[in-house]
Structure 1
Amino acid sequence: MNKITLIATAAMGLEAIVANEVRQLGYKDVTVENGKVIFEADFKAIARANLWLRTADRVKILVGEFNAVSFEELFEQTKALPWADFISEDSEFPVIGRSVKSRLYSVPDCQAIVKKAVVESLKKSYHIEWFEEIGAFQRIEVAIHKDIASLTIDTSGTGLHKRGYRYLHNEAPLKETLAAALIQLTNWNADKPLYDPFCGSGTIPIEAAMIGQNIAPGINRTFAFENWNWFEQKWIDEVQEEAEDVAKYDQPLQIIGGDVDHTMIELAQNNAKEAGFPDALRFKQIQISDFSTEDESGVVIGNPPYGDRMKDKSYAENLYRELGRVLRPMDTWSVYIITSHPHFEKLYGAKATKKRKLYNGNIKTDFYQFWGKRPRKK
């Protein structure tokens, strides 16, 4: 078996971005569906996708997919899948599940049946009756949607948003995967200044720095597949060497994070240091009303307070008015703001060039894009 089917899961609204990242890695047979991107690849792609996908949540192996309207069908078809190709005889293989609009709606029953079927399949392959499950962790998921059961094995372990640099964060952190997606939706590149006026724990500036210097987002963390005895160490080594070869550590960056809270500035500085950017990024305590720049053009990108709670609403609305007052005159700068507030454009004082619906966790938001005019040639 030289090819496998991989699934890169994605937050709602980010599927097209994840698919573009998959294609940039060189994989052409790509299918986009709600919440996931499916692609055919070789085994090394497990390592490459986990290391490089900035906006995906997880990478999973699709072991099999079939129609199942009875527990007997679920059991027999699960049992028939080639589990021994992926799961070792000493592996720990718990089963999680979900079911949507399907006749097999009892998730605990589906999980139990899949677990039993996998055990029966492995018994036949390994000729043993008992599995101690003391080895590598290989989590199986049974996902049933409209009576179609998909059986997958998670290769990532902890979610891909866990880059390894953000040990501490503010109360409402922006996921690293969403921050990377927001940056990719702007017109920013490493030659332009970037300013985040609501930097919090520094996620947007740090993700921008990783993009600007072409650093693989997973380079400083581990993954579940690294402990699987059938996954060859040479594949891991080759992918990591590729990442080192293309990194641009000497690329200068002009990225600034600002926040009104000095404790957030300290937190962002610590996180930037953990991410490998002790000196490349600047953070300063500042109010948006005090922001000014001598740069002719650049990008502002921010995740301000949404004002979802009644007591915070007036603060957020005044902040949006001030944001517009300061940034609208900077007409050669592009401004990108994510918020759930339905009247942001009115408060900001301008209609967005474009807006895109995204989800920040479970919160439905809009990503407002105000494109700056091209600077006059000197």
Structure 2
Amino acid sequence: MTRRTVILTTNPGIEDIVVWEAEAKLSAEAIEVRSGHGRVLVSVDEKKIYLVEQLRSIHRAKLLLARNGICGSQDCLRKVYEVVAASGVEKYVTPYTSFAVRAERVGEHDFSSLDVARVAGDAVIDAVRRAYGERPPVDLDYPAVVVSVDVIHDEIYVSIELGGEMSWHRRGYRIYDHPAALKPTLAYAMILMSDVVDGDTLMDPMCGGGTVAIEAAMLLEHSRIICMDRSRRHIAGARLNAKAALVENRIRFIVGDATRLSSYVEDVDVVVSNPPYGIRMGSPREVRRVYREFLREAVNVVKKSIVLITTEHKTVRRVLEEHGWRITHARKVAHGNLYPYIVVAKPG
């Protein structure tokens, strides 16, 4: 059995979810996991690499060709060339396949990501010419093969993008784009953190464009899924997204106010939600009022767990503990330019 190293990228903060999912679906073995870095290295049976597209918690997957140390001086661009040229990239790029280099640079260096891409591109062309006697075509817009060259602080990674140019967190069902949409990778992670089991009732009482409900309907075959929002426009958009995802019939849609939750449902097993916070509500005082009123209702309706992503985690903790609930888990994650917390709470 030949095993290959694959780089999986994700939202910083849910690396452990990626490892769990890769182990469960790919029989992968974790090689390197750095919490908060958004990158996980796993070892996968070569025959199972095609299954990586089933992972719901990742943004991209890259087949690692080479990894080496690198310094930050201008002279170390020569190291970029050497590592790429010796990586075996010619097995994936030929004179009959167009390619492009995508470079990322993180840290302090005397060169830019454009410099890395330029030098790496020269190395790919030279490696292919040595192997085949001809140079490969370069196509920066629609390449058949994407060679990824990442310089992360003092290391360089050369890899082949397994999913092409499209990030896998951009689900095809996002017809309606909510102005503060939750990334599906985070929605998926939150559902797993809720300890929901298939057959439970899961509700998102502030569902926006329906991301949580749709991800839940894809994951849970026998569960009742409820998507509620006070905006008719958002509910209409959520329904469009669910229809595009082919799960519209699995979800109950309600136009309703989460601060009066018990008026719409008597009991649910799990609530998973991305409630409004920060500038979305205009006033911190108004945000906290909504949270207090919503949570006072939720503790009387929810039986198993409440999972929220919010920058108002201190308010969430205080209100829930006042009502006899306990915070069983909290973690900071990256979401756009914000760093909210995912908070998991259970009764008692």
- Once residues 176 and 280 of structure 1 are traced to their aligned partners in structure 2, the CA distance between those partners, rounded to angstroms, is 18
Pair 1:317 & 2:292 matched: no
* Aligned partner (choices 130, 134, 138) of residue 124 of structure 1: 130
- Once residues 336 and 325 of structure 1 are traced to their aligned partners in structure 2, the CA distance between those partners, rounded to angstroms, is 15
Distance change (3 Å), C-alpha of 1:39 and 1:353: closer
**What are the Cα deviations for residues 228-274 of structure 1, in whole angstroms up to 9, with x where unaligned?**
xxxxxxxxxxxxxxxxxxxxxxxx33110100000111111111111
Q: Which of the pair is proportionally richer in strand?
A: 2
- Once residues 218 and 290 of structure 2 are traced to their aligned partners in structure 1, the CA distance between those partners, rounded to angstroms, is 29
Give the stretch that moved more between structures: 172-181 or 153-162.
Answer: 153-162
* Aligned partner (choices 202, 209, 212) of residue 201 of structure 1: 209
- 1:110-149 aligned at under 5 Å gives the runs 110-129=116-135, 131=137, 133=139, 136-149=143-156
- Once residues 139 and 38 of structure 1 are traced to their aligned partners in structure 2, the CA distance between those partners, rounded to angstroms, is 19
Cα pair 1:358 1:367 within 8 Å, conserved:
yes
Alignment match, 1:4: 4
Identity of aligned residues (%): 28
Pair 1:355 & 2:325 matched: no
What amino acid sits opposite 1:107 in the alignment? S
Uncovered stretches (5+) of structure 2, i.e. residues with no partner: none
- 1:94-105 aligned at under 5 Å gives the runs 94-105=100-111
Cα pair 1:352 1:368 within 8 Å, conserved:
yes
Q: CA deviation at 1:102?
A: 4.9
Pair 1:294 & 2:266 matched: yes
Alignment match, 1:254: 224
Cα pair 1:102 1:145 within 8 Å, conserved:
no
- 1:79-228 aligned at under 5 Å gives the runs 79-129=85-135, 131=137, 133=139, 136-157=143-164, 158-213=166-221
Distance change (3 Å), C-alpha of 1:193 and 1:309: closer
**What are the Cα deviations for residues 270-291 of structure 1, in whole angstroms up to 9, with x where unaligned?**
1111111131111110001332
What RMSD over aligned residues (CA atoms) do the two structures have, in Å?
2.3
TM-score by length of 2: 0.88
Pair 1:41 & 2:47 matched: no
- The DSSP-based 3-state class of the residue aligned with 1:200 is coil
Cα pair 1:340 1:366 within 8 Å, conserved:
yes
Q: CA deviation at 1:361?
A: 2.3
Pair 1:329 & 2:300 matched: yes
- 1:54-93 aligned at under 5 Å gives the runs 54-69=56-71, 70-93=76-99
- Once residues 71 and 81 of structure 1 are traced to their aligned partners in structure 2, the CA distance between those partners, rounded to angstroms, is 16
- Once residues 113 and 62 of structure 1 are traced to their aligned partners in structure 2, the CA distance between those partners, rounded to angstroms, is 19
Uncovered stretches (5+) of structure 1, i.e. residues with no partner: 214-251, 374-378
Number of aligned residue pairs: give it: 333
- Once residues 205 and 94 of structure 2 are traced to their aligned partners in structure 1, the CA distance between those partners, rounded to angstroms, is 49
Cα pair 1:161 1:175 within 8 Å, conserved:
yes
- Once residues 318 and 132 of structure 1 are traced to their aligned partners in structure 2, the CA distance between those partners, rounded to angstroms, is 56
- Once residues 258 and 310 of structure 1 are traced to their aligned partners in structure 2, the CA distance between those partners, rounded to angstroms, is 18
Distance change (3 Å), C-alpha of 1:169 and 1:62: same
**What are the Cα deviations for residues 106-146 of structure 1, in whole angstroms up to 9, with x where unaligned?**
22212111110110001111211463549852222221123
What amino acid sits opposite 1:9 in the alignment? T
- The DSSP-based 3-state class of the residue aligned with 1:359 is coil
TM-score by length of 1: 0.81
* Aligned partner (choices 326, 344, 351) of residue 315 of structure 2: 344
What amino acid sits opposite 1:48 in the alignment? L
Alignment match, 2:24: 24
